[in-house]
């Protein structure tokens, strides 16, 4: 997939709305005596792209999993659109389904079903979760495969696709459920740089077309170029946040400065 046309569209990204799509209020996640997320407050506007960076073990991935309730927070509240889940009470099955329908997530590993074709990997969830017929689901799946540059892979099996192609298939699968918010957890960490560019191009295209996204990444240039806002996490907390250029080039907190110096010196 040629990344250049998608990169050129970055400048036409639609402006984010002032309305928050995501609100995190005092979110904590504790495992026995270890607090992985320690009281995070965060708002993400509709159409905004936020990058989260920070050292390993700082709580970045756990925070994403708290948002879609794969890891239910120990304390605090998560609100996505009209769905609000408070850690003080057990959410209903309906609330969880509503929230997870609103949030798509792409992991470091691709999590594709190896015994299903690429098309079935994308269509199956649509049929089970959204009640689409197989014909309807396949039509949506083929449109999304074309969007990520893989129209010719519909009848292949995942193991016949490269790592970059498999990650783009995983993105298409997440998009097939029509999420309002997309979460990316180190989407290129398992890929070599060349294949990672394929995935970056798709994420840039989504950003250019107004998709609300949070991207956890270890790639600093990508974090700055794809997002409006960068958040630095350390020890389960947000230690710095601001516009992408300000945080990446002139951080104010000592912890953020130390992290960014370490990254620059590698």
Q: Domains plus CATH for the chain?
A: 4-112+181-264 (3.40.50.300)
pLDDT at 11: 42
Q: Give the C-alpha distances (Å, rounded to integers) separating 41 from 131, 233, 241.
A: 35, 12, 11
- 256-266: pLDDT as tens digits: 999 999 988 76
Closest CA to 214 of 26, 206, 120: 206
pLDDT at 3: 38
Q: What is the DSSP letter of 70?
A: S
Number of other residues whose CB lies within 10 A of the CB of residue 59: 23
E-state strands within the chain: 20-31, 34-45, 49-53, 75-80, 83-86, 103-106, 181-185, 212-216, 229-234, 237-243
- 202-258: pLDDT as tens digits: 999 999 999 999 999 999 999 999 999 999 999 999 999 999 999 999 999 999 999
């Amino acid at each position: 997939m040629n990344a250049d046309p998608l990169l050129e569209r970055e400048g036409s990204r639609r402006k984010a709305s002032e309305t928050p799509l995501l609100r995190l209020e005092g979110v904590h996640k504790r495992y026995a005596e270890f607090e992985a997320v320690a009281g995070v407050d965060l708002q993400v506007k509709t159409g905004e792209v936020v990058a989260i960076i920070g050292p390993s073990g700082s709580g970045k991935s756990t925070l994403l999993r708290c948002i879609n309730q794969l890891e239910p927070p120990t304390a605090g509240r998560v609100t996505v659109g009209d769905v609000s889940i408070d850690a003080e009470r057990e959410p209903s099955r309906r609330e969880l389904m509503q929230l997870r329908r609103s949030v798509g997530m792409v992991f470091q590993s691709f999590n594709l079903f190896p015994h299903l074709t690429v098309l079935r990997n994308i269509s199956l969830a649509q049929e089970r979760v959204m009640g689409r017929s197989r014909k309807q689901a396949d039509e949506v799946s083929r449109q999304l495969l074309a969007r990520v540059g893989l129209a010719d892979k519909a009848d292949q099996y995942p193991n016949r696709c490269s790592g970059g192609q498999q990650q783009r298939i995983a993105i298409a699968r997440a998009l097939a459920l029509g999420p309002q918010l997309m979460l990316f957890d180190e989407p290129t960490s398992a890929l070599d740089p060349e294949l990672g560019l394929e995935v970056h191009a798709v994420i840039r295209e989504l950003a250019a077309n107004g998709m609300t996204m949070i991207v956890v990444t270890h790639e600093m240039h990508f974090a700055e170029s794809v997002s409006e806002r960068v958040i630095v996490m350390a020890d389960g907390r947000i230690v710095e946040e601001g516009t992408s250029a300000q945080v990446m080039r002139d951080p104010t907190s000592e912890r953020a400065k130390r992290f960014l110096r370490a990254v620059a010196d590698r």
